A and B are shown apart, each in its own frame.
Chain A
Amino acid sequence: MTVQSIRYRRIMYRWFRPAYIILVPLSLIAFLPFIWMILGAFKTGAEIRQIPPTFFPKHFTLDNFRTVLHDPNLPLLLFYRNSAIIAISNVIQVLFTSSLFGYIFAKFRFKGGNILFWFILATMMIPSQLTMIPGYLILARLHLINNLLGLIIPSAIDPFGIFLFRQFAYSIPTDLLDAARVDGAGEFQIYRRIVLPQMGPALATFGLLTFMFNWNAYLWPLIVLTEQKVRTLTIILTWYSTRMGNKYHLTMAAAVLVIMPVLILFMFVQRWIVEGITMTGLKT
């Protein structure tokens, strides 16, 4: 056996494993719904109506995107803005409260502290549908229906975040905090200048997860936001698709515009999202 053939064999073994016979077709099938959506967005209305449907568009057209972007009922930038306001505000406040209270529950012994922590943990078990109706009634009384604040104010605390950051804060040496106290740092300053920088990686992964959950949320925005001008992207997408009915070329163009930009962004930071999920086992 020549050296050459051994090398070939090693390369063959590296790139061709029996697993590929299953994995390659399966992953192509997994991509198929995305491809079907994207191809549909480039077909003409006449081609969409054709029976049986074509797979690849006969002639690519960008008209669908033009129609969707020029639809006065569908100011996409406004809906991007609404989704972004909700998601970014919630990320900021959840990261702030989670890191602050995680730190406090880890590093301070105070009366009722443990009971409070376990109570917060227990609220994780409460399914959202149980508080959905009264939550809506409270917002209605505060006149926060059809107001983006209605999706921000009630979501300042994430019990899971507090739990996660408490675990993280334990690893910060107490001596470091005491040293800062001796140097005359105020308590909030210690949190801001010493604790927070130590939590960098956890802030990044948990922030991304929170952003993704908020960006993709559907049920709660559906209940709280019923007026056109405050709707989020997910709400507007279903609204548009029901209005368009069988005009799938337009629905798919809208879907591509709504889904793809952020999906591609998520794809690039996928590693941290995966890390967040495996670290926490968190689910929507």
Chain B
Amino acid sequence: MIRFGPGNLRIPRFERPVYIVAGGLTDYRKRYPEKNTCQLCVEALRMAVEENDLKVEPEVFRRMVNWCVYSQFADHFGDQLLAAAKVHDYLGFDPLGNIEVKTGGATGGSAVLAAAQAVASGYASCVPVIGWERMDEVSTKVGNSYIASAACKDFESELGWMYASYYALMAQRYQFENNVPRETLARIACKNHDYARYSPYSQNPGQYTIDDILNNEIVSHPLSYLECCVMSVGAAVLIVADEETAFKLTDHPVRLSAICGGTHTLRTADRRHMPILLLPHESQETYRHYFEGERRDWPGFSSFLASRMAAYLAYNMAGIKNPLDDFDLLETHDAFTISDVQTYEDIGLRPYGKGREFIESGDAYFEGRLPTNLSGGLIGTMHAVGATGIFQLVEILWQIQNQWDKFHADPKRWERYGKTKPADFRSLQVKNARRGCAISHAGTGSHVTCAIMEKA
């Protein structure tokens, strides 16, 4: 769709407020044969229910649940159809109703959206969202082939069986149109690997220089290994509730003021030129000179309409005037360094064509204007696909509740996962964090959700 009618851009609304009460994670590993999927999901659920200072005992909580949402990207990986039924049973929630959500990389975000819809409509009042992925049953090459099954199998997958290549095509075009230095992309990878060093949950922490990133082996030109997300095993849980339930469970629930979704063609190739959809702080003037030089179309290969659509709806739903001013922290779906720069523009941190400035200015760093992916993101910490969008919101929840230190700084938490807290550990708790945003993203931008959480 390239021309909108009035109904297409209707701003969503919740019939009643939706709250996030608690979150739980596992650690994330490339291979995790020690625990099966059901065990990982229990572990994340127990952390959510037992370690978030809820005012009720776990057994009382269990009796408050009335609907569950499950989040797993690919049945291929776990090799178990209806895995949600197995997990739901294992968690002891039968015979309550549940639904399993699947929208590729954005599955976690979409699952939270489904839970929010259930709570906002009055259908449910207390909804655990449980996400996981088990990507270690196959080799990395087969894993990449499975993931590439989420490109168009008739016309695309055969061309590489490798999603990084489909992003590399975008990267090359983006650089051609916008002349972004390779060093700027590398800085994103440095940042996220570094923040992962302060997370006991992280799979791929590291202190790298820009040269380390650029001289690393190439996956698909121009992207190097260290610029690509990890492939993980692990789970994440978020508890979504209505107002009455939320305050019964905790004195510090966080409000989910908006969560909205957008989509675009599965094949990047099929994205036709259209007028730029403007965010609240943009105008026609913002893009008066955009279509000059090498830029001939929008969204083309340089931008994600799905992200722009999700942000457009969520910003209008939550009353966001300017994301740089209104958010205190952000989690993006940094599957690849290039997609992160594209996303900065799609969600309005900089106008299209100028996303590089968000990194180059220092805005994206801890104690910068809008710290981004303090969790370590997908590049540094995890991409257990079905858990990812949930993981992002768990991290934002803890930040807004001023609980980041509790869940990251305690040496016992590191020991729990067989790790030692680094000697140069530092707190990444954002002072007075009031409002955060998370972008969950699939395909080359086939599905995107934008969630906004704020202090209640």
Pair from one complex: no
**B-binding residues in A (CB < 8 A):** none
